[in-house]
Amino acid sequence: MRAAWYALAIVLWLGACARNGQDPAADAAPDPGMAEQVDALMARYQGDVPGAALLVMRGGEPVIRRGYGLAELETGRAVTPSTNFRLASITKQFTSAAVLLLAEDGRIGLDDPVKQWLPGLPAAADEVTIRHLLTHTSGLVDYEDVMPAGLDSQLRDVDVLALLEGQDHTYFAPGTDYRYSNSGYALLALIVERASGMSFQQFLHERIFDPLGMDGTLAYVEEGPDVPHRAYGYSEEDGGWTRTDQSLTSAVLGDGGIYSSIDDLARWDAALHDDRLLSDASRELAFAAATPTDDPGIAYGFGWRITGDSLWHSGESIGFRNVLIRYPQRRLTVILLSNRNDPEPHETALRIAELSGADGGG
């Protein structure tokens, strides 16, 4: 029940804003001293520059909920809490949730050989399982390393599969080491499609976004629905800002193709506190330290990094830098989404978490 109130807090907040004639993009009335400190930390995002959206949820209530700077420089459109940013690798927690839902349905097994679903992979992938893909322990070749020279169109998840079908080697024997793998999550999106009979976009919409009321969130493809309230990505070059919104890999969905807002991610965060979406057993699997990583202070679960009592993931792609940090036992979440190549927001989010009652262990 506590988690239900957590989700309801956002809805009540938006409703109260509407009834009182308030701008729903305004601050969520934090402690004045804390607000000043947070604004100081977010100063680089303010003004006529690519901006950011920041949400701090504490005890089920929005303590900070606001936008900074611009979502689109060319029109002067401001960032608001409903602005949708490309999540980049924060997408991986949704891909893993899709896999877990299918496992709950009995459609797949976490220890299924990947070649059961993608039989065109070479012999080197014979021992790779779905669990290896989820935990970055497959050893599969990074598709970015084998992209053909002179490529002039965006890759899709199925193109990643085609590239890997021509790579009959792995970096290490599956399950013996850790190496962060966008390839693995692209393959997971294809497995979701083959096991469900739906496109990856449709599965996410029907099984995750729609049930949770994440109305503005989608896995974006050029021929599909437009991204509502879209933030465009920018990079700083020669003292100015250049739009760098898409790259050759931006259309690969499983590893980084979701767009979402801080308001929709508040609903996602709420759903991770109870069994409204995933069972207790599935959430326990996702949040468990399945493997150490190349950083001795960080473990990895299913689409989540684990540091101390925090669950988190960053997301970085051309023109976007994001981070989502959860402290479930403390009922504290910090989400910082930005449409610019710099600064990397993780340290800023940790400092905001400290101001909000965490110990900075994210």
The predicted-structure confidence for 241-300, as pLDDT tens digits, reads as follows 999 999 999 999 999 999 999 999 999 999 999 999 999 999 999 999 999 999 999 999
89 in catalytic set: yes
Q: Which of 82, 89, 260, 282 is catalytic?
A: 89
- Three-state SS string over the chain comes to CHHHHHHHHHHHHHHHHHHHCCCCCCCCCCCHHHHHHHHHHCHHHCCCCECEEEEEEECCEEEEEEEECEEECCCCEECCCCCEEECHHHHHHHHHHHHHHHHHCCCCCCCCEHHHHCCCCCHHHCCCEHHHHHCCCCCCCCHHHHCCCCCCCCCCHHHHHHHHHCCCCCCCCCCCCCCCCHHHHHHHHHHHHHHHCCCHHHHHHHHHHHHHCCCCCEECCCCCCCCCCECCCEEEECCEEEECCCCCCCCCCCCCCEEECHHHHHHHHHHCCCCCCCCHHHHHHHHCCCEECCCCCCEECCCCEEECCEEEEEEEECCEEEEEEEEHHHCEEEEEEECECCCCCHHHHHHHHHHCCCCCCC
In the chain, which segments carry CATH 3.40.710.10?
2-87+219-355
In the chain, which segments carry CATH 1.20.58?
94-196
Mention the CATH class of domain 2-87+219-355: alpha beta
Mean pLDDT of 115-136: 98
pLDDT tens by residue, 22-44: 333 344 555 677 889 999 999 99
Calculate what percentage of the chain has a pLDDT beyond 90.
Answer: 84
pLDDT at 225: 92
pLDDT at 224: 85
pLDDT at 6: 39
pLDDT tens by residue, 196-232: 999 999 999 999 999 999 999 999 988 889 999 999 9
pLDDT at 2: 39
Whether pTM > 0.85 for this model: the answer is yes
Architecture of the domain whose range is 94-196: Up-down Bundle (1.20)
